[in-house]
Amino acid sequence: MGRTVLDDAAAISDCILKKEEAMCLEKIEEANEMMGLNDSSPGCPWMWDNITCWRPAVMGQVVEVGCPELFQIFNEDTGVVSRNCTEDGWSEPFPHYFDACGFDNDYLEGGGNQDYYYLSVKALYTVGYSTSLVSLTTAMVILCRFRKLHCTRNFIHMNLFVSFILRAISVFIKDWILYEEQDTNHCFISTVECKAVMVFFHYCVMSNYFWLFIEGLYLFTLLVETFFPERRYFYWYSIIGWGTPTICVTVWAVLRIHFDDNGCWEMNDNTALWWVIKGPVVGSIMINFVLFIGIIVILVQKLQSPDIGGNESSIYLRLARSTLLLIPLFGIHYTVFAFSPENVSKRERLVFELGLGSFQGFVVAVLYCFLNGEVQSEIKRKWRSWKVNRYFAVDFKHRHPSLASSGVNGGTQLSILSKSSSQIRMSSVNAENLAT
């Protein structure tokens, strides 16, 4: 759900190990201070084995721990690892981490395939967001430039475009701040600037989801209600689209400061706090899905109406086209992983949400601006008008070289001629009135 920009396996695993090691060493230090445990004490003391933390045990005791979070990233079905406290100290873990936790040792030995996979995902979403950023910016310029395209529908499209643009920018900023260095020092970054970047990132992602929701809500309202005040509705749409994410992200940031102020806030270990952001997003996705089904039902009824011409195949063809156009506009594809836990199907989620999702802005810009008939006709009209003005300007320059050399451009000359001709016509009309 937009939780991370790049779940780089090496970086995240190192962060997890360092955090768990710091927690384990802190427990060991507290235990030594409070209980006076040391290496000469009977039994087995606290131990950090570079993977997980083992609590102290008496001789002959078997200690069991669950698979560390490191392994849960790559495999959801993890088991239990045990160690026996013997006279010689801790025994070897049994079963081995790789057997109990279902982790492939090839990653630790080679790691090339995993690194290549995540680098490929990063390259894919970098190209996707860059393409979306350019196409959306061009679409915004077109919709802002032509006044005849200014209407409530296009204003909503423009806000959606802005949310996609902000989302792409926030992704690049987050990558730059967190992953600029090749080392893993970002694991322990805890600056105000870094946290502000994360707040901005989550705000942009939430705004994007809510404007997708508003697109569905507006279209559904347009189909259901015959007459409704669009301008008044747009005011409330703006509050929902930009105001609701502001409230949710602000509440989340305040809760993080008081209850989970660790690192750069890029990890969301506290599930309850994460649902402050994820809950409204999932809710908007599901409501949009319901609206999507409702709109499809309405389209079926309208296309099967006896007033609609065409045979049955053309009706279903138009319905399929309408449905495909609505999917990227509503973000219906996000329902695939809407309710799945964050640690489930991480590889598929990365490709789906980061790889394919990065091109959603480009698809929306193409379908709802570049391929829009109203936009194309307005561009063609402006193009014809420009060609006509250019033709008359060049023609006037050839016919009246003395005026052209005076430094007055063709547009100004045409306006002067039109004004003078209108004055001549007015004077002739006045003369005729006086004569009568």
Residue, of 161 and 37, whose pLDDT is higher: 161
Residue 270: band (very low, low, confident or very high) from pLDDT cuts 50, 70, 90: confident
Where in the sequence is the domain holding 237, given as residue range(s)? 111-381
In order of 256, 319, 352, 384, the CA distances from 245 in angstroms are 16, 33, 23, 43
The count of domains in the chain is 2
Residue, of 55 and 225, whose pLDDT is higher: 55
Which backbone phi and psi does 90 adopt, to 5 degrees? Answer: -70, 140
Question: What average pLDDT does this structure show over 319-332?
Answer: 69
Pair (211, 359) in one structural domain: yes
In tens, the pLDDT along 105-121 reads 444 444 445 667 777 88
What burial class does residue 171 get, using C-beta atoms within 10 Å of its C-beta: 0-12 exposed, 13-18 middle, 19+ buried?
buried
User: Does any domain span residue 161?
Assistant: yes
Pair (238, 279) in one structural domain: yes
pLDDT for the residue numbered 161? 95
How far is residue 272's CA from residue 326's CA, in Å, rounded to a whole number? Answer: 33
User: Does any domain span residue 251?
Assistant: yes
Question: What average pLDDT does this structure show over 352-366?
Answer: 85
Residue, of 216 and 434, whose pLDDT is higher: 216
User: Does any domain span residue 306?
Assistant: yes
Pair (283, 149) in one structural domain: yes
Pair (58, 125) in one structural domain: no
Residue 323 has pLDDT above 70, yes or no: no
Pair (183, 292) in one structural domain: yes
Pair (29, 120) in one structural domain: no
**Which is nearest to 215 in space by CA: 296, 331, 365, 376?**
331
Residue 320 has pLDDT above 90, yes or no: no
Residue, of 281 and 97, whose pLDDT is higher: 281
Residue 249 has pLDDT above 90, yes or no: yes
How far is residue 174's CA from residue 181's CA, in Å, rounded to a whole number? Answer: 12
Beta carbons of 198 and 276 less than 8 angstroms apart:
no
User: Does any domain span residue 432?
Assistant: no
Of 381, 404, 427, the residue at which a domain comes to its end is 381
**Amino acid at residue number 206:** M
Beta strands in 72-220 (DSSP E): 80-86, 89-90
Q: Which residue has the tokens 């069991």?
A: 64
User: Does any domain span residue 403?
Assistant: no
Residue 39 has pLDDT above 60, yes or no: no
Pair (92, 217) in one structural domain: no
User: Does any domain span residue 404?
Assistant: no
Residue 184 has pLDDT above 50, yes or no: no
At 84 the three-state DSSP class reads strand
How far is residue 188's CA from residue 186's CA, in Å, rounded to a whole number? Answer: 5
Beta carbons of 187 and 263 less than 8 angstroms apart:
yes
User: Does any domain span residue 13?
Assistant: yes
User: Does any domain span residue 429?
Assistant: no
Residue, of 90 and 401, whose pLDDT is higher: 90
Residue 414 has pLDDT above 80, yes or no: no
Residue 265 has pLDDT above 60, yes or no: yes
Which backbone phi and psi does 53 adopt, to 5 degrees? Answer: -105, 135
Residue 226 has pLDDT above 50, yes or no: yes
Share of the chain above pLDDT 90, in %: 20
How many residues are there in the chain? Answer: 436
pLDDT for the residue numbered 233? 84
Pair (71, 25) in one structural domain: yes
Pair (244, 272) in one structural domain: yes
Q: What is the CATH number of the domain that holds 121?
A: 1.20.1070.10
Beta carbons of 68 and 56 less than 8 angstroms apart:
no
In order of 15, 111, 347, 351, the CA distances from 107 in angstroms are 17, 4, 15, 19
264 φ/ψ sector (left φ>0, alpha ψ -120 to 50, else beta): alpha
Provide the CA 241 distance to its chain's centre, in angstroms: 14
Residues in Cβ contact with 140 at an 8 Å cutoff, skipping those fewer than 6 apart = 158, 161, 162, 165
Taking the CA of residue 354 as centre, how many other CA atoms within 13 Å lie in the half-sphere pointing to its CB?
Answer: 25
Pair (165, 292) in one structural domain: yes
Q: What is the CATH number of the domain that holds 7?
A: 4.10.1240.10
pLDDT for the residue numbered 307? 63
In tens, the pLDDT along 123-146 reads 888 999 999 999 999 999 999 988
pLDDT for the residue numbered 205? 93
Residue 251: band (very low, low, confident or very high) from pLDDT cuts 50, 70, 90: very high
* Top-confidence range, 150-154, 211-215, 296-300, 420-424: 211-215
Buried/exposed 24-61: b ≥16 CB within 10 Å, e otherwise: beeebeebeeeeebeeeeeebbbbbeebbbbebbeeee
Choice among 31-35, 89-93, 212-216, 309-313 with the minimum mean pLDDT:
309-313
Pair (299, 343) in one structural domain: yes
pLDDT for the residue numbered 417? 38
Q: What one-character DSSP code corresponds to residue 75?
A: -
Of 81, 101, 121, the residue at which a domain comes to its end is 101
Pair (273, 337) in one structural domain: yes
Of 78, 101, 124, the residue at which a domain comes to its end is 101
| Element of type H or E holding 159 | helix 152-179
